[in-house]
Amino acid sequence: MPVVSPAQYTKMLEIAKREHYAFPAFNVTSTETANAVLLGLKTAKADGIIQISTGGAEFMSGLGVKSMAQGAIALADYVRFMAENYDVNIALHTDHCHPKYLETFVLPLIAETERRRALGQPNLYNAHMFDGSELPLAENIAKSLELLKRCAASDIILEVEIGVVGGEEDGHDTSHLGKEKLYTTPEDMVAVHQGLAPIGPYMLAATFGNVHGVYKPGNVVLKPSILRDGQAAIASACGGANSLLVFHGGSGSSLQEIHETLDYGVIKMNIDTDTQYAFTRAIADHMFKNYDGVLKVDGEVGNKKTYDPRPYMKKAEQNMADRVIRACSDLRCAGKALGRI
């Protein structure tokens, strides 16, 4: 199926929210990892989201280009072409654009969508994420509002973040910030909804103790009830409405915690660390088992069948696809592909 249209994506999100499941959003960095996501979603019979970060997009463009915008455009066009061969619905997102990267990442991508729409072509991406969590809340909302006005004009959903997701991702480290920043208040969620909802559809990554990367149980205390309380506050202040919520930094979360967030309106969960590991784990296994074949050691010539990248990249693709399948099960979207919507 093709990458979904704005109207189709809106329908996907509405159904997920109503039925208390979420779409996994897998960060990718290459055609190989994108293929792994497509394979996993197909096998799980689940719709889902492929997304790319600033660092992933720059990597995607290659060392000779090193352009976030060009890498993101290439990824979107590749996925759009390959998705036609799969019987699941795919949405395309960008992830975590901090203010300093707007001019080199999100804004050029919005401009590319505007250019394509003028030619009668589909949008490049379904949604973009602006991470203004490092800014004071009022400044974050003001910048988000500015971006949402432009996104809404092209039927693009804007994802925003308030509070701080701990840990490090793509070189952005928040470990120096206080732990109180890890927990969003209901008042902040209300302020965001009141500021953005009148303009157009948005997603909210509210923080409830989330941390990027891998952490051992007990190191971080998740409080999903923060999402419940925030949604109730929005409903009270805004005539019963509430937000489409996003779960960032979910690696290491228990299934119980994940399911609790789904009941509070989470319709998207970002997954990166776990799939990175699954992809690399299969390659490491191949290398350790075929050490004398992949290297020309002691005057030998190695074994072309083992240092040919295709065999170990296929293993990596399958291993990552298996982790994609598990994510779909965890988020209750396995077996719920909507078909042509």
Q: Which residues are catalytic?
A: 95
Using CA atoms, how far apart are residues 83 and 75, in angstroms rounded to an integer? 12
Q: How many CB atoms lie within 10 A of CB 252?
A: 17
| Full DSSP string of 83-144 | HTTSSS-EEEEE--B-GGGTTTTHHHHHHHHHHHHHTTPPPS-SEEEE--TTS-HHHHHHHH
Q: How far is CA 291 from CA 162, 287, 296, in A?
A: 47, 5, 9
Contacts of 32 (CB under 8 A, 6+ apart): 279, 313, 316, 317
- Distance from first CA to last CA of the chain, Å, rounded? 10
DSSP-derived letter for residue 183 is: B
